[in-house]
Amino acid sequence: MSLLVHQIGPACTLQDQGRAGFLDQGLSRSGAADQLALHEGAALLGQSPDCAALEMAGMGGTFEATQPVTIALTGAPMQASIDGSPIVWNASHVLEAGQRLTIGAVQQGNYGYLHVGGGIDAPLFLESRSAHLTAKVGRAAQAGDLLPIGPYSGSAGMKLRPDDRFAGGGLRALASFQTPLFDQETLDRFARTVFRRGTRANRMGMQLDSEGKGFAAKGQLDILSEVITPGDIQMTGTGNPFILLPECQTTGGYPRIATVLPCDLPRAAQTPAGGPLQFTFVTMDQAVALHATYLADLSRLRAQVEPLVRDPHDIADLLSYQLIGGVISATD
Amino acid sequence: MTPQHTAPFPRIRTVGLDGLLISFADTMAESSNRAALAFRDAIDTSRWEGVIETSASLASAYVRFDPINLPHSEIQARVEQLLQQQDWYQAPLPSGRRLWKVPTVYGGELAPQLDEAAAAAGLSPTDAIQRLGDSRVRVLTIGFAPGQPYLGPLGPEFNIPRLKELNPMVPEGALVLAISQFVLFSGPTPTGWRHVGQTAFRCFRPEALQSFALRPGDEMQFLPVSRDDLEDIRAANDGSGGATCEEIPA
């Protein structure tokens, strides 16, 4: 069983929770830029968050099911339709054999996700299905690809109401081991500044713009290269910050002023160009408590899905709706 | 926020929410790299529940853990206790290390900055090739790109600065030199280091069962060969670059 790709945007890759354990080999985790969206898709389909999904940066594609499949759409909202009839984002749907799912441009945020019941069953590489393009692991999806689908026996027609995380906002951050390289004046100014996401952004990292002078560290250019983790806020030589994302390098010499908490990384990654971002330092105790809440929220997602009630007014042509097909696939 | 004050080495500092960095120096030296490799190995051997992954950089060991099930106070105490168990700067290197001997073309069209590096080291090109070819260097750390080793230390004469202008592109298998270290590139990349040798050795082989050739602590020697020899090795096309590999007795 598979999903045939007819058309596809330039930056769509398979992503799961990423691969841990290869940092010592210079390979960073990769995985979905918005991990919350991965969990939301799993909750909508009633399956494991370990399943791989298609991450679509900015633009989706056109897909055709070779057999009936169940899909879910999460993350940055994009225009989506099945055979021309609009479908709801943050919801699960049935795509019958031969039907075309069209996902267009992003309306808010950056990364949308297409999940399938059973997960996209591509071969594992080093225990993960995540592409890591900067490490030349995997490749972007292309027209003509057949995305293999794993076995699945669940159903569709559910929705979630996630909080808006697609327009920037506040990010909680922790002091890290290189924070003391910055003087107090610089740290205070950093926390007061409202940044705008710059135009340079990909799965390695995203640039932050601000008015006024940069945020340089003392002795910035001669420090020993040390470990880098996703969420680190790294300064370039001119003191211009980047938030590092799942395909970041594993080690580097430019200093990090702070680290964004994992619970706020989805919001960071989804901030569109020009979107405002501001950092608040929290203590380690606060950070651990916030992290525990985040993990508990992820495990509660499945209890929060609710039936997708179809409003006949939203359906352009009620008679063409595949009511019978849905019944058949649900009882197979 | 809580500033972390400078402490004497070894020094334990937090990395984001879920990491500790145990640093043995703030500059690269053989003994601090030895300590980092040995200490990282000791954390792995301890098999603490809640540890997710570890790595070693030039002079630090890093451990990432689940802070919910292994609280900061707990892992910090365990790391401190482990640090006190021995003088890590004198610790034996991890066992299971290997010595790789890699055929290398020095200088010429394939490695055009050998002459310049030799001059910066105050040597003739012939002397530089002999010294570099005789040097047995350690995989100090792997990073920046998948499987890519930082190798050293080379003799003090090779403590030459990085280039002011970037080398726009060096190919996979390039051996580059600066600050008494080599890097053996795992993919084509721009660099500020001088391109002194060229190998056919692939550090990252995603298509192979063993995707990563090297491990931190392994040793390497880059033996001079002719360009024709390298072309013959390339024709074999198995990614090994004609390298030999032997266990280093513990």
Q: What would the pLDDT profile of B208-219 be if each residue is shown by its tens digit?
A: 888 999 999 999
Residues in chain B with CB shorter than 8 Å from the CB of A252 are 144
What is the C-alpha to C-alpha distance for residues A79 and B24, in angstroms, rounded to an integer?
A: 53
Instruction: Spell out the residues 6+ positions from residue A39 whose beta carbon is closer than 8 angstroms to its own.
Output: A49, A298, A301
- Is B60 within 8 Å of A229 when comparing Cβ atoms? no
**Radius of gyration of chain A from Cα atoms?**
21
Q: How far is CA A42 from the centre of its chain?
A: 13
- Return the pLDDT at A329: 40
Q: Any bridge partners for residue B240, and if so which?
A: none
What is the C-alpha to C-alpha distance for residues A81 and A74, in angstroms, rounded to an integer?
A: 14
What is the overall mean pLDDT for chain B? 94
CB pairs under 8 A between A and B: 138
Which domains does chain B possess?
Answer: 11-90 (3.30.1360.40), 98-247 (2.40.100.10)
Looking at chain B, which residue has its C-alpha nearest residue A175? B1
Each of the 332 residues of chain A gets a pLDDT tens digit; together they read 899 999 999 999 999 999 999 999 999 999 999 999 999 999 999 999 999 999 999 999 999 999 999 999 999 999 999 999 999 999 999 999 999 999 999 999 999 999 999 999 999 999 999 999 999 999 999 999 999 999 998 889 999 999 899 999 999 999 999 999 999 999 999 999 999 999 999 999 999 999 989 998 876 556 788 999 999 999 987 789 999 999 999 988 789 999 999 999 999 999 999 999 999 999 999 999 999 999 999 999 999 999 998 665 555 555 555 444 444 443 33
Q: What would the pLDDT profile of B161-204 be if each residue is shown by its tens digit?
A: 888 888 889 999 999 999 999 999 999 988 889 999 999 999 99
Nearest to A23 among B1, B55, B204 (CB): B55
Domain range summary for chain A, segments of one domain joined by +: 2-164, 169-295
**CB neighbour class for B8 (10 Å; exposed up to 12, middle 13-18, buried from 19):** exposed
Instruction: Spell out the residues 6+ positions from residue B134 whose beta carbon is closer than 8 angstroms to its own.
Output: B221
For A169-295, CATH number out of 3.40.50.300, 3.40.50.720, 2.60.40.10, 2.40.100.10 equals: 2.40.100.10
Strand residues in A122-222 grouped as ranges (E): 146-148, 158-159, 169-174, 195-201, 205-209
Residues in chain B with CB shorter than 8 Å from the CB of A26 are 142-148, 186, 204
- Give ipTM to 2 decimals: 0.90
- Give me A199's structure tokens: 């135009």
Q: Mutating which of B11, B13, B17, B193 best tests the A interface, going by the most A Cβ atoms within 10 A?
A: B17
- Give me A136's structure tokens: 């030349």
Q: Mutating which of B11, B15, B24, B207 best tests the A interface, going by the most A Cβ atoms within 10 A?
A: B15
Looking at chain B, which residue has its C-alpha nearest residue A251? B144
Q: Mutating which of A186, A227, A280 best tests the B interface, going by the most B Cβ atoms within 10 A?
A: A227
Instruction: Spell out the residues 6+ positions from residue B98 whose beta carbon is closer than 8 angstroms to its own.
Output: B215, B218, B219, B245, B246, B247, B248
- Is A179 within 8 Å of B3 when comparing Cβ atoms? yes
- Closest CA of chain B from A53, distance in Å: 22
Helices B72-83 + B30-46 axis angle, to 10: 120
- Closest CA of chain A from B226, distance in Å: 30
